[in-house]
A and B are shown apart, each in its own frame.
Chain A
Amino acid sequence: MSARYGMVIDLDRCTGCGSCMVACAAENNVPPPVPRATPRTGLTPMLVRKLSNGKDGADLREAFIPITCMQCEHETPCVSVCPQQAVEVDKSTGIVMQIPQRCLGCRYCMTACPYHARYFNWWDPQWPPGMEKSLNPGVSVRMRGVVEKCNLCHARFHTANEKAAAAGKTQIDPADYVPACVEACPTGAILFGDLADANDPVSTAAHSPDAFRLLARIGTEPKIHYRTTQAWIRTLADKNSDRPTEAQHV
Chain B
Amino acid sequence: MKVSRRDLLVGGAGVTAGFLFTPVPWKLLGDVSIWTQNWPWIPQPAHGPVDTKQSACTLCAAGCGIRVRMAAGWPVGISGVKTNPMTKGTLCPLGFAAHQLNWHPQRLREVRHRGRTASWADAQTAFEKACTEGPVAIFDGRPGRAASSVLQAFAAKHNGSYRVVPSPETQALTPYADWSGVPVSALGYDLENARTIVSFGASLLDGWGTPGRFTHLWSEKAAGATDPQLRLLQIEPTLSRSAARAWRWIPIREGSEGALATGLARVLLEERLVATQSPMAPMTLEDAAAQTGLGTEAIRDLARTLVEQRPTLVIAADGNPAIAALNHLLGAVGSPGGIALKSKPNLSHVRPQPNIGPNRAVLLDSSVPWDFVPETTAEVFRFAAWDGGSSKADWLLPSPGFLEELTDVPTAPTSAVDTYAVSVNLIQQSEEVKNTAQFLAKIDSTLPDVEKLIHSRCEEIFGAKLGMVFAEQQTPVTKFESAQKLEEQLRQGAIWMGNPPKPGGFRCILQEWPARTAPSHTSDWAAAWLPPVLPPLAAKLYQESNLRDVPARREV
Contact = CB atoms under 8 A, between A and B. Distances in A.
A25 B39 contact: no
Contact of A29 (B45, B239, B543): B45
Contact of B223 (A13, A17, A26): A13
Interface in B71-106: 71-72, 74-80, 89-94, 96-97, 99-100, 102-105
B47 interface: yes
Contacts of A33: 539-540, 543-544
B531 to A, nearest CB: 15
Chain B interface size band reads 35 or more
Contacts of A37: 543-544
A239 B552 CA distance: 32
Nearest to A189: B219
Contact of B79 (A23, A42, A133): A23
B541 A139 contact: no
Interface string B63-77: 000000101101111
A13 B219 contact: yes
B37 interface: yes
Contacts of B72: 133, 137
A142 to B, nearest CB: 8
A21 B541 CA distance: 7
Given A60-B239, A186-B211, A22 B537 contact: yes
B211 A25 contact: no
Contacts of B91: 19, 184, 186
Interface residues of A, number: 69
Interface in A1-23: 10, 12-13, 15-19, 21-23
B226 to A, nearest CB: 8
Contact of B547 (A49, A127, A140, A183): A49
Nearest to B215: A186
A128 B107 CA distance: 11
Contacts of B93: 17-19, 21-23
A137 B47 contact: yes
B395 to A, nearest CB: 25
Interface stretch (B244-252, B299-307, B385-393): B244-252
Given A135-B43, A135-B45, A27 B211 contact: no
Contacts of A129: 103
Contact of A15 (B99, B241, B543): B241
Given A17-B206, A133-B74, A137-B50, A38 B543 contact: yes
Contacts of B442: none
A222 interface: no
A139 B50 CA distance: 13
Contacts of A247: 546
Given A184-B91, A187-B219, A21 B540 contact: yes
A143 B224 contact: no
Contacts of B535: 22
Contacts of A166: none
Nearest to B99: A134
Nearest to B43: A132
Contact of B216 (A128, A130, A186, A228): A186
A128 B100 CA distance: 9
Contact of A38 (B42, B103, B544): B544
B211 A48 contact: no
A141 B44 CA distance: 7
A159 B42 CA distance: 24
B121 interface: no
A130 B103 contact: yes
A137 B74 CA distance: 11
Nearest to B544: A42
A62 to B, nearest CB: 4
Interface string B217-242: 01100011010000000000001011
Given A15-B245, A58-B251, A21 B46 contact: no
B548 A137 contact: no
Contacts of B223: 10, 12-13, 187
A47 interface: yes
Given A22-B96, A44-B544, A58-B251, A141 B77 contact: no
A127 B535 CA distance: 11
Interface string A53-83: 0000110111110000000000000000000
Contact of A32 (B216, B218, B537): B537
Nearest to B206: A17
Contacts of A12: 223-224
Nearest to A29: B45
Given A15-B205, A22-B94, A58-B249, A30 B537 contact: yes
B50 A61 contact: no
Contacts of B207: 17
Interface in B248-262: 249-251
B74 A50 contact: no
Contacts of B206: 15, 17
B551 to A, nearest CB: 12
Interface string B355-376: 0000000000000000000000
A17 B103 contact: no
A10 B245 CA distance: 13
A18 B540 contact: yes
Contacts of A191: none
B538 interface: yes
A16 B93 CA distance: 10
Contact of A13 (B43, B97, B104, B224): B224
A222 B169 CA distance: 43
B21 interface: no
27 contacts: A10-B224, A15-B245, A16-B241, A18-B541, A22-B96, A25-B97, A25-B537, A29-B45, A30-B537, A42-B540, A42-B545, A48-B545, A63-B244, A127-B43, A131-B536, A132-B45, A135-B76, A136-B45, A136-B77, A137-B47, A137-B48, A137-B76, A140-B45, A141-B44, A184-B91, A186-B219, A187-B215
Given A42-B543, A246-B546, 20 more contacts: A17-B215, A17-B241, A19-B93, A30-B540, A44-B540, A60-B239, A61-B244, A124-B42, A132-B44, A133-B74, A134-B74, A134-B75, A134-B100, A134-B103, A135-B44, A135-B45, A141-B43, A186-B212, A188-B219, A228-B224
